[in-house]
Chains A and B, each alone.
Chain A
Amino acid sequence: MVSTLRQALDLLGGVVLGKDTQLRLSLACLLARGHLLIEDIPGIGKTTLAKALAVVLGLEFKRVQFTNDLLPGDVLGVSVFDAAQSTFVFHPGPVFTNVLLADEINRGTPRTQSALLEVMEEQQVSLDNSTRLLPRPFFVLATQNALDQAGTYPLPESQLDRFLFRISLGYPDLDSELELLGRSQNAGRPTLPEAVSNAGEVLDLQERVDHVRTSGPLLRYVRDLLDWTRTGGRFVNGLSPRAGQALVRASRAWAFLEGRDFVLPEDVQAVFPSLAGHRLRSADGSGVDPAAILDAVPIP
């Protein structure tokens, strides 16, 4: 593995305790140029994770708390008339950053939500007949509270597709909990680590992920997985080709994190649950179990 990434993971592990897999997935998501949706209850460390990720990688970090009176302009930015210069001057919104934490995204109105989601896809902001590129890398971490649905606007499926992964953090294990409790007595907030990287290096890493090899049998495996979700009427809709491409990209990133320059079926299996869980809805209304899909599809 690239030493930067190992260091970053070590440092992140010191901040978000006992969540190695989630940290890896977050990092893989960033390396695969995807966006991350974290679904969990409040106070579990979502913000800490986002902030730590940005800081460790030396990226710019901003945060938007979504509420139902949040307007697109509050996210993207607005043009304000400057009387002195007699022109409209654009005031960039919080979206102009490397890592954006969109907290409780389901509390925003659909209008604002779509404004953000569009930007996530386009990586640029089009306002007032001008297009402004976002800084690269651009990585959105959105959180939503899955249980508390009152007064929320749940993201429609088509927009969930914009997120490469959906993960949940869950409670820390007992040891981590103990350490966490001790720590909060001391300082209340964890001290954020030093940056070990910068935006340029992250872009370079993203570039290198693209060159991770995928062999024919591996692509056949991905195809079989996609095919399995589409046939047999198990799901309302099967995984889309875009989801398939995303799966390959994510697997590459995971393999890269594992220090390999080629993808193994295990890489696909590692990222598949986070990738497929929010994209599939079972036909009979029961929950989707991505692990069951993995068990059902043989590796060619």
Chain B
Amino acid sequence: MIHDKRRFSITLLALALAFAPHLPHVPIFVGIFVCAAWGYALGMQYRGWPVPPRWLRVVLALGCLALVLFTYGRSFGRDAGVALLSLMLGLKAVESKSVRDMLALLFLAYFVVVTNVLYSQTLVMSAYMFFSVMAVTAALVHLHSGESRLLPDLRRGGLLLVQALPLALLLFVFFPRLQGALWGVHDQRDEGVSGFSETLEPGSVANLSLSREVAFRVDFPGPIPDRDSLYWRGLVLDSFDGLTWFRDLPVELAQSRSENFSQQAVPYTLTLEPHNKEWIFALDLPVFAPRGTVLRSDRTLAGMRMVSSRSRFELVSDPAPEQTPLPGPAWIALPEDGNPRSRDLARQWKDSGLSPAEMVAAALELFREGGFVYTLRPGAMAADIVDQFLFATRQGYCEHYSSAMAFLLRAAGVPVRVVVGYQGGEENPMGGYLIVRQSDAHAWVEVWVDGRWQRVDPTSVVAPQRLVTGVESFVPQGQGVLLPEGIRALRQVGRFFQLGWDAANNSWNQWVLGFSHERQRGLWERLGIDPTTIAGAGKLAAFLAAGLCLTLGVAFAVMLRSRQGERDQVALLYGRFCRKLAAIGLARKPAEGPHDYAGRIGRQRPDLGQAARDVIDAYVALRYRGSGDPAAFKRLIEEFTGRTF
């Protein structure tokens, strides 16, 4: 039995802290088993319950293994591993008899803490992990210290961790990073990620408009462009089936330009949240494809792989569209029938000899003057949705306007395509970057006029403030009831914290999580290290080794210091005094007593003799006679070290 119940309880507490974040991930039976096992272990300590016999423990261990295998079958990956680890954590506690067992438990706890990274790498989780590592370390210290109080051990645990930080930082920056996911077993059944689908139908964008989730963040090195030019294109849809716009035509790759940007070109860095699709959003219009992406002929960017983790892209966009040849007939294709009234209207335009540009103007005029309403809740529509929208309901969201406009123009024989993406974004004043949320989702059209695909946003004529203030002014709030002043102020405060928190998270993502293989390479290159060559690799190794030696050396020096008992204030101050004198060649020998030292100073530097004697007398009084005024001593030291000689 472990005689010290307290130590065992503290060990268990540390384990619980390490294990707690796993509770939502592990199957319910695992959580119950672990808690029950720990409860029994506590009972063993406090109530004298018997240790389960060896055969029972073996059966339990094998049973747990079988259960995990049964539950997860062949896909023995992250989840199964964590479940097994958790079960064994429970079992080990039950058979813990000695200090050695508790040590094993605590070391296991470190491992459990690390596995949290497999599930979450957010700022909050990292802070929590730091805390739990500190708790486990404190428990470890407590196991050895035999202190009756926990606080000094906790402090020491924290101190140890803080001391480890420089080394951790060094390894973080210089230890070669693995390309791709560390564990290679990223579970694909991650929570459903909201975002676009590959089609546009009534309601598909409106559904997103209530989501405050972040789609991506953008950092402009220069000023952020005007809000009404912030069109983030994601996908270009080229075909319509009467209800849905979708992608059907084969896409080609466009030539990516990496130089000769025009005057209006805007460079920026876009950090995309994972959305499990391959497309990548870019400001109208991206001109070159960064590594790992391709530029399509419809001027959208696509990744080589799905974006399943937060990714950073360095992009350049140029708002001016390029000349393109007349698109083929597929770009004016429509279903055979349906929406007759709209077709009639288009035919009228065509018959009256309007040019494409005039037709665009006519369509916009229609939306502006036709009593159209911009709303998030347009109501359901069945067949002939364009007709219904244009001539009956006249209520719609951006997808209705875009869809209807594209239909009209195609019916009139003008090549047109629908673009889905985001519009606008919220500037975070605390980080100087732009947050684009799901609620900024938008759809607009591009019309081929004068040899170019030109952007036309029908929503802008119906609801101009959509482009100025964002969609929020349209989100129904409490059914028109005006909020009291106090609550609005409270909302402002909440918003402030929200933005601050977002800025903190963004920094975390950029600087910690975003420190990828590529960026590490970039850093090395800036230091003149090319790890692909032998010399570069050697340089890197030398860098690492030097850093390690430096860190360890500092740690060793600090340790030696503290062993000399310089921790207390008087000794620290005396150390300052001695260092000051060491600078003029009067270093105190380690085995030199204060009076001997004073004598030597007096002989070698008679001018300093009296001052040094005063300091040393005060030191002797404090340290050896056990009397004297520490504050006066401090003043003396400061006076002395402030002098120049």
Contacts and interface: CB of A to CB of B under 8 A. Distances in A.
B594 interface: yes
Interface string A289-300: 000001111111
Q: Which of B564, B565, B596 has the most CB of A within 10 A?
A: B565
A300 B568 CA distance: 11
Interface string B548-592: 000000000000000011000001000000000000000001111
B623 interface: yes
B600 to A, nearest CB: 12
Contact of A264 (B564, B565, B620): B620
A262 B624 contact: yes
Contacts of B593: 264-266, 269, 299
Nearest to A268: B593
A13 B590 CA distance: 34
Interface string B589-612: 111111110000000000000000
B258 to A, nearest CB: 64
A299 B571 CA distance: 11
A26 B201 CA distance: 109
Interface string A26-55: 000000000000000000000000000000
Contacts of B565: 217, 220, 300
A263 interface: yes
Interface in A192-237: 213, 215, 217-218, 220
Given A217-B565, A218-B624, A263-B624, A297 B594 contact: no
A295 B592 CA distance: 8
Interface in B593-645: 593-596, 620, 623-626
Contacts of A218: 624
B594 A264 contact: yes
Contacts of B590: 297-299
Given A213-B625, A213-B626, A215-B624, A266 B595 contact: yes
Q: Which of A213, A220, A266, A297 has the most CB of B within 10 A?
A: A266
Contact of B591 (A213, A262, A294): A294
B592 to A, nearest CB: 7
B591 A298 contact: yes
A160 B321 CA distance: 104
Interface residues of A, number: 19
Given A266-B596, A298-B564, A300-B565, A217 B591 contact: no
B592 A215 contact: no
Nearest to A261: B625
A163 to B, nearest CB: 25
Contact of A215 (B589, B594, B595, B623): B623
A266 B591 CA distance: 9
Interface in A250-300: 261-266, 269, 294-300
Contacts of A297: 590-591
A264 B592 CA distance: 11
B633 to A, nearest CB: 14
Nearest to A297: B591
Given A220-B565, A300-B565, A262 B625 contact: yes
A112 to B, nearest CB: 41
Contacts of A263: 624
A124 B624 CA distance: 36
A264 B591 contact: no
A259 to B, nearest CB: 12
A298 B590 CA distance: 4
B620 to A, nearest CB: 7
B164 to A, nearest CB: 27
A279 to B, nearest CB: 20
B603 to A, nearest CB: 16
Given A217-B565, A220-B565, A266-B596, A296 B591 contact: yes
Nearest to A293: B591
A264 B625 CA distance: 9
A272 B519 CA distance: 63
A103 B564 CA distance: 45
B180 to A, nearest CB: 52
A217 B595 CA distance: 15
A264 B595 contact: yes
A296 B592 CA distance: 11
A265 B616 CA distance: 13
B612 to A, nearest CB: 16
B201 to A, nearest CB: 80
A217 B626 CA distance: 10
A217 B564 contact: no
Nearest to A300: B565
Interface string B353-385: 000000000000000000000000000000000
A248 to B, nearest CB: 13
Given A215-B626, A262-B625, A300 B564 contact: yes
Contacts of A262: 624-626
Q: Which of A263, A295, A299 has the most CB of B within 10 A?
A: A299
Contacts of A296: 591
Contacts of B595: 264, 266
A260 to B, nearest CB: 8
Nearest to A215: B624
Interface string A113-151: 000000000000000000000000000000000000000
A218 to B, nearest CB: 6
Given A217-B565, A220-B565, A299 B624 contact: no
A298 B561 CA distance: 11
Contacts of B592: 299
Given A217-B565, A300-B564, A295 B624 contact: no
Nearest to A294: B591
Nearest to A291: B591
B596 A217 contact: no
Contacts of A298: 564, 590-591
A269 B592 CA distance: 9
B615 to A, nearest CB: 15
B626 A299 contact: no
Q: Which of B595, B623, B624, B626 has the most CB of A within 10 A?
A: B624
Nearest to B588: A299
B625 to A, nearest CB: 4
Contacts of A269: 591, 593
Contacts of B564: 298, 300
A131 to B, nearest CB: 40
Given A298-B564, A300-B564, A265 B594 contact: yes
A119 B11 CA distance: 57
Contacts of B624: 213, 215, 217-218, 262-264
A262 B619 CA distance: 13
Contacts of B625: 213, 215, 261-262
A218 B624 CA distance: 7
Nearest to A218: B624
Contacts of A266: 593-596
Nearest to B570: A217
B271 to A, nearest CB: 54
A256 B599 CA distance: 20
A263 to B, nearest CB: 7
Q: Which of B593, B595, B596 has the most CB of A within 10 A?
A: B593
Contacts of B596: 266
9 contacts: A213-B625, A215-B623, A217-B624, A261-B625, A265-B593, A265-B594, A269-B593, A297-B590, A298-B590
Q: Which 10 A-B pairs have the closest CB atoms?
A: A298-B590, A265-B593, A266-B593, A300-B565, A262-B625, A215-B624, A262-B624, A266-B595, A295-B591, A217-B623
Given A213-B626, A217-B623, A297-B590, 17 more contacts: A213-B624, A215-B623, A215-B625, A215-B626, A217-B571, A220-B565, A263-B624, A264-B593, A266-B593, A266-B596, A294-B591, A295-B589, A296-B591, A297-B591, A298-B590, A300-B565, A300-B571
